[in-house]
Amino acid sequence: MLKRSESFGDRRDQIIQASAELFEKVGYHGASMQMVADAVKLGKPTLYYYFKSKTDILYAVHESLIVDLRERHVARVARKVPLDAQLLGICTDIFRQIDEHPGYTRAFFEHHDELDDSQKGEMRRQRNEYLDMVSGLIAAGVKSGLFATCEPRLTALGFLGMCNFAYKWYPRERQRTVEATAQALCKVFLEGLFQRGRLGDGSGDPK
């Protein structure tokens, strides 16, 4: 039973990966279950044994990405990694997904609305839990005096927005490694564009 379960899970993962690559290549709406079956060398009836619909595959792609991000962050917390290094780790995780699994990230950011209502609700819950993790990290940094006073949730939204939008440009701008790119972005985010306590008025003159 264990071997059968492992084989089922492995094949399911192969289908998810092949589907994500197919969605990246021809678009979610351009892909069909027959195309997915052909990509993994399965008969179409056998494919339905693993997934009932293309929407179910899309949900599995979403879940695979968000679960990976959450588990990586939980592992850093368990290792008691410093808070600023945790924030860098979150950014690096996202860039690594963009670099290694572009189909997953494009599906995650562009095809949320194609999920059915129950899937949308569950994915919204998981995304919010991840946002809460990042917000809690920032709040802890503020409380400890490591980070400047800010609104943690708003700051987390801004931080994740900066990282997530990279799926649009990073595949074309691989002039640095994933780690170096994440470090460069986080340096700007953590240190700020102005010296602490000298916020400008938007005119370019910090006064």
Nearest to 126 by CA among 75, 66, 73, 58: 66
Q: What is the pLDDT of residue 201?
A: 42
Q: Is 198 exposed, middle or buried (0-12, 13-18, 19+ CB in 10 A)?
A: exposed
Q: Is the dihedral of CA 159, 164, 167, 168 positive or negative?
A: negative
Split into its structural domains, the chain has a count of: 1
HSE-up of 77 (CA within 13 Å, CB side)?
A: 12
What are the tens digits of pLDDT across the range 21-34? 999 899 899 999 99
Question: Is 130 among the domain residues?
Answer: yes
Question: Is 19 among the domain residues?
Answer: no
Question: Is 155 among the domain residues?
Answer: yes
pTM reported for the whole predicted model = 0.85
Look up residue 113 and give its two tokens.
């609305």
Question: Is 156 among the domain residues?
Answer: yes
Structural domain for 78, as ranges: 54-191
Q: At 33, is the secondary structure helix, strand, or coil?
A: helix
Q: What is the pLDDT of residue 191?
A: 84
CATH code for the domain of 94 = 1.10.357.10
Q: What is the pLDDT of residue 200?
A: 41
Question: Is 12 among the domain residues?
Answer: no
Question: Is 24 among the domain residues?
Answer: no
Q: What is the pLDDT of residue 171?
A: 83
Asked whether the beta carbons of 16 and 61 are under 8 A apart, the reply is yes
What are the tens digits of pLDDT across the range 53-97? 999 999 999 999 999 999 999 999 999 999 999 999 999 999 999
Question: Is 37 among the domain residues?
Answer: no
Q: Is 70 exposed, middle or buried (0-12, 13-18, 19+ CB in 10 A)?
A: middle
Of 77-91, 131-145, 191-205, the poorest mean pLDDT is in: 191-205
Q: What is the pLDDT of residue 192?
A: 66
% of the chain beyond a pLDDT of 90 = 75
Question: Is 74 among the domain residues?
Answer: yes
